[in-house]
Copies of this chain bind each other. A is one copy, B any other.
Amino acid sequence: MPTRARHGREKEERRQSILQAAREVFFENGFYRATVDDVAGRAKVSKGTVYLYFESKETILALLLLEGLNELVENLEDAYAAAKTLSADERLRRLSRAYLSFFEEKPDYFRLLTATDRGRFQDSVEPSVYQEVLSASLKGLDWVGMAIQQGIDEGLFHCCDVRPAASILWATLNGVLDLMKHPLRREMVGLELEPLYQAALETVLQGLQSRE
């Protein structure tokens, strides 16, 4: 059934083009300033068509967030797997680099994830979806945790508990990205993102290795 297959593909393409349009206008104007009209206009479809593919504006946001987060998680997974034979600290460097790459390639997801007023989102979307977004946003912690556990097993780290250690590292990376995500703020700090990010990683690694 080639026609059916074609139809399916075209539908999926249309869906994707609406999602892409939403990504663009949400990023450009922020979720609240962006209107469904904007999204429709950008995707060159009518407003009604948007609602043919998606339940609501909030649903679109949720999908974008999940898409972004899932991509990040995949990147982390790959980085972790690719560094299978390496030492714990090297695996953590790979994980961190994967996170940085994601940030640099999809900066919009970051803005969306961090800058969207949660209040409205939280109660416009099904609780399960909200939970899913929240939990996906913490997946990174798990991979970092596994690498740190390896480091503890290998005797590299002397801290006694994995979860706090992983949280500290993850929070630090997030903190640096958040601090540097805004051009104006980058300018005010007077540093480049990449070297600072690397330095932060090494500092925390050092700190975790020192016996206290």
Residues of A within 8 A of B (CB): 28-33, 111, 114-120, 131, 134-135, 137-138, 141, 159, 163-165, 167-168, 170-176, 178-179, 182, 184-185, 188-191, 195-196, 199-200, 202-210, 212
- Residue A189 contacts which of B114, B167, B184, B212 (CB distance < 8 angstroms)? B167
Residues from chain B with Cβ under 8 Å of A202 in the complex: 207, 212
Report whether A163 and B190 are in contact in the complex, using a CB–CB cutoff of 8 Å: yes
Which of the listed residues A115, A117, A185 has the most CB atoms from chain B within 10 Å of its own CB? Answer: A117
Report whether A185 and B134 are in contact in the complex, using a CB–CB cutoff of 8 Å: yes
Residues from chain B with Cβ under 8 Å of A31 in the complex: 117
- List the 3 shortest-distance A-B pairs measured between CB atoms, nearest first: A175-B175, A30-B119, A207-B207
Residues from chain B with Cβ under 8 Å of A141 in the complex: 189
- Residue A168 contacts which of B174, B176, B212 (CB distance < 8 angstroms)? B176
- Residue A191 contacts which of B116, B167, B188, B203 (CB distance < 8 angstroms)? B167
Residues from chain B with Cβ under 8 Å of A164 in the complex: 191, 195-196, 199
In the bound complex, how far is the Cα of B163 from the Cα of A210, in angstroms?
23
Report whether A163 and B185 are in contact in the complex, using a CB–CB cutoff of 8 Å: no
In the bound complex, how far is the Cα of B191 from the Cα of A209, in angstroms?
21
Could you name 18 residue pairs across A and B whose Cβ atoms are closer than 8 Å? Answer: A28-B119, A29-B119, A30-B118, A31-B117, A33-B117, A33-B120, A135-B188, A165-B203, A167-B200, A168-B172, A170-B175, A172-B175, A174-B179, A175-B178, A178-B178, A203-B208, A204-B204, A207-B208
Residues from chain B with Cβ under 8 Å of A209 in the complex: 210
Known contacts: A185-B134, A196-B164. The answer to whether A30 contacts B117 by CB under 8 A is yes
Closest to A122 in B: B30
A192, chain B: closest CB distance, angstroms: 10
